[in-house]
Amino acid sequence: MPFIGTQPEVGGYSVLDALTASATASYTLQLNSANFSPSSANQLLVSLNGVIQKPGSSFTVSGSTLTFSSALTSSDSIDFIIAMGEPLLIGIPSDGTVTSAKLDTNAITPITRDTSNNRIGIGNTSPDRTVSIKHASQAEIGFKTGSVSNGALIYYNDSENKLLLRAQETGERIEFQTGGTGVRASITDNGICFGTDTAAANALDDYEEGTWTPTVNGLSGAASGYSAQLGYYIKVGQLVFAQWRFTLTNKGNISGNYALIQGLPFNHAGSDGGSGMVNRYTNLANAVSSLGIELGGSTPGSAWLTKQSGTSGTSDTYLTTADIQNNTFMQGTLIYRTG
């Protein structure tokens, strides 16, 4: 059969098992001792007594039975029968014979190969990264090994404006390493741990910055006027660093033997919750040599102002509401543990 260009070398070619002629026209075709059924007589090349036979007229095929146009004799010779496969069909390629160059760009839906730029797109027909994943609403990469049911997940959702990296099994952690194997930090169920430490007690579970509004009060009553109230804080884990400043215009009806800073950004831990300092103050009703702050006791939302009177005192006492005037100014810092 003539071809334009190089003649195709495709199809599955097999020499069928030898047949011995006898006084019959029909013979069973076999390949490696198993019955063989060609799709048609045109698939077979049959040589009888050194002459190639014509399919359809010299022989026919039905299933695995080949029937000659007339009965043979024992003196005839069936030289060979070759099954040529389906002409021009590739069949099943041998392992390792199909290279990437033979694949169409979009052969594996929804994967797109950009061979010019060495990029792969999943759901993205124009990948702009080495590996680009695109989805109408959210893109996910999941990881599972062995019997793990949930594994790990990398997830991006544009409408939620977030990229999620999650180890989904209880007790698992996400590690950050440098230098190949050096663990610098990890994220556990309890927070962020540093180095190889995974203890829950050492995990950093919170960081926050913000503002708060300090007030000065007694055990009863409240100040009723301020010209300034400023407060800033940083919370790292359980530890709070807070700055504050206020200037009164009216001390209102505060009363009692204790003057308190209130409005804390977080409640303190109670007994031995923390301490603080008053680094500037003006317009107190009575002279003091210094002021301090105690955070403790059964009022976790309050900081107790303390004072030292004179220059030779060996201990402090609590600042009272009587020491506060309508125009008192104070500024200080608090350091304490949250409850």
Give the tens place of pLDDT for each residue, 296-324.
888 999 999 999 987 766 889 999 999 99
Q: What is the DSSP letter of 321?
A: G
pLDDT in tens, 204-224: 889 999 999 999 999 999 999
pLDDT band at 105 (very low <50, low <70, confident <90, very high): low
The pLDDT of residue 318:
95
What's the pLDDT at 149? 76
- pLDDT, tens digit (0-9, with 9 covering 90-100), for 168-186: 777 788 888 887 768 888 8
Nearest Cα to Cα of residue 261 among 291, 301, 220, 290: 301
Query: What band does 11 get if pLDDT is binned at 50, 70 and 90?
Result: low
> Per-residue pLDDT for 136 more than 80?
no
Residue 312: per-residue pLDDT = 65
Give me the pLDDT at residue 88, please: 53
Give the residue with greater pLDDT, 329 vs 161.
329
Torsion of CA 187, 193, 194, 197, to 10 degrees: -110
Phi, psi at residue 54, to the nearest 5°?
A: -90, 125
With a cut of 70, say whether residue 10 has pLDDT above it.
Answer: no
DSSP one-letter string for 50-106: TEEPPBTTTEEEETTEEEESS---TT--EEEEEE--STT---SPPTT---GGGS-TT
pLDDT the model gives residue 196? 87
Give pLDDT, residue 113.
83
* Whole-number pLDDT of residue 9: 46
Comparing 71 with 134, the larger pLDDT belongs to 71
Give tens-digit pLDDT for 246-294.
999 999 999 999 999 999 999 999 988 999 999 999 999 999 999 999 9
Predicted pLDDT at 217? 96
Least confident of 27-31, 56-60, 96-100, 116-120: 96-100
The lowest-confidence range among 18-27, 52-61, 143-152 is 143-152
Higher pLDDT, 133 or 16: 16
- Taking residues 157-174, report their average pLDDT: 78
Q: Dihedral of CA 52/56/62/63: which sign? A: positive
Q: Within a 10 A sphere around the Cβ of 226, how many other Cβ atoms?
A: 16
CA distance 324 to 152: 59
Find the range with the poorest average confidence among 114-128, 152-166, 229-243, 252-266. Answer: 152-166
Torsion of CA 160, 165, 169, 173, to 10 degrees: -140
Position 170 scores a pLDDT of: 76
Q: What is the pLDDT of residue 269?
A: 94
pLDDT reported for residue 306: 96
Name the amino acid, one letter, at 84. M
Are the CB atoms for 250 and 282 separated by under 8 Å?
A: no
The chain-wide mean pLDDT, for the chain, equals: 87
pLDDT at 162: 79
Does 241 or 159 have the greater pLDDT score? Answer: 241
Establish how many alpha carbons lie within 13 A of residue 309's alpha carbon, considering only the half-sphere containing its beta carbon: 9
Q: Which is it for strands 274-282 and 119-122: parallel, antiparallel or unpaired?
A: unpaired
Residue 121 pLDDT = 87
In this predicted structure, the answer to whether residue 333 has a pLDDT above a threshold of 60 is: yes
Which of 259 and 154 is assigned the larger pLDDT? 259
- pLDDT level of residue 79 (50, 70, 90 thresholds): very high
